[in-house]
Homo-oligomer: A and B are copies of this chain.
Amino acid sequence: ARQSDSQPGERRIDFPVSVVLPAGGTGERTGLKTPKQFCSFLGRPLISYTIQSFERVSWIQSIVVVVAKENMDLMTDIMQRFQHRKVRAVPGGSTRHRSIYNGVLALGEQKEEEEGSVSVDRPKVVIIHDAVRPFVEEDFLYKIAMAAKEQGAAGAIRPLVSTVIATTSEGYLDHSLERTKYRASEMPQGFTYDVISQAYHRCTESELEFGTECLHLALQFCGTNAKLIEGPPTLWKVTHKRDLAAAESIVKETLSRSACVITGGSSCAETLANALQKAAGAVDMTLDIVPDLTGDCVTYLLTECNFIQVSVNRCCLTELKTLLTDLEEENRAVLQPPVVIWIHLSSLEELSVNGTTPGPAAIMDVASAAKLRNILLYGVWLHQSEAEPLKRAPRSSTSTCRLQTSVVMLDVTGILDAAS
């Protein structure tokens, strides 16, 4: 169950860790009809982003999502559509604590599962997280898991964002708390399986009904004093409708941060690629330049980067279509839409002589077909001339290659905006 044993670059967790994601909320604070964990942005529901954050951590063996009975079908559909592998859904209870308890119990029963599901151990540590905090990172999960194993319980904290004040029963200021002595309790929290299951087993009906804080149960019913760890701002919770726009902006920014430029080995294309790389660096975007996606470079098809395909004087879309087919075969578009920008570098001779140069209509047809497979394709035409040498233009080794077009727009975030 522990893939990290064979992957030396990763953090080593040598005990089984599983996750409970309570997702039974009704979304009353978002101003939306759909519960917020099921609201979509960029074509995917929020909860799928959260699940992905856990699934990509190699040492997390399984995730139990606890959903209201009426949303079980929806959840099953999401798991299939976005090909989530480590997840199963169990029905929730009438309160947050009852739902989490159901999830913990499901983890304990996992050995008796029906055939076809992945065989997993009863976890040593259970991480509890909110379905509406999609951006939790592996680093922090590692800290929580390690502290939970050592102390029995651990939880994320954040500085208070507002002064906390006590009010009189008449609605007047009584006193304000000294901000440095208090913290906001956030998610994720981690527990040994024994602590969290015993805490729920021992606690009262009243706790299950009205309580919300798991750390409190561990302290009260197991005497386990939680280790508190300050988490990053990314632990933030999607609460209101406006937060969906904020979450979308974070995903877009991540998506737009890196791209792979495919030159086909042409020196002209390489000159352009180097110029793009420099320009992208100035806006904190990383471009890698490769001749093609064979050999070691095939890994780019598996990572979350975008692609810039440069075609030189080609009269058909072959290279581009190969890239699109490769992306589809690797299922790269299931979780996030990759952006592909096709730059067609053509000489004036080609324009005037060759009637088969693909025009905007052809690229738009390919783009429409790609969009249906969740790939966002854009075309840029650049016309180069060998007739008008510019002063101080760098010369490439095999041919003189200059661009008449002075500005190349490659703001991928903007492009995603336009496409959404």
Contacts and interface: CB of A to CB of B under 8 A. Distances in A.
Interface string A157-177: 110111111110001110011
Interface in A240-291: 240-250
A165 B186 contact: no
Contacts of A420: 417
Nearest to A241: B249
A298 interface: no
Contacts of A163: 184-185, 212-213
A242 B135 CA distance: 12
Interface stretch (A2-10, A224-232, A365-373): A224-232
Contacts of A239: 161
A177 B182 contact: yes
Contacts of A418: 417-418
A216 interface: yes
A43 to B, nearest CB: 14
A155 interface: yes
A144 interface: no
A66 to B, nearest CB: 20
Interface string A183-209: 111100000000000000000000000
A164 B167 contact: no
Contacts of A243: 246
Interface string A25-38: 00001000000000
Given A246-B243, A420-B417, A176 B185 contact: yes
A399 B182 CA distance: 73
A215 interface: yes
A302 interface: no
B249 A176 contact: no
30 contacts: A29-B233, A155-B173, A161-B184, A161-B237, A161-B239, A162-B184, A162-B185, A163-B184, A164-B182, A164-B184, A165-B182, A165-B183, A165-B215, A165-B228, A166-B182, A172-B225, A172-B228, A173-B219, A173-B226, A173-B228, A176-B213, A176-B216, A236-B240, A236-B242, A240-B246, A242-B247, A242-B250, A245-B249, A246-B246, A417-B418
Given A160-B164, A164-B182, A245-B248, 7 more contacts: A161-B184, A163-B213, A166-B181, A167-B228, A171-B227, A173-B215, A243-B246
Interface of A: 29, 155, 157-158, 160-167, 171-173, 176-177, 181-186, 212-213, 215-216, 219, 225-229, 233, 236-237, 239-250, 417-418, 420
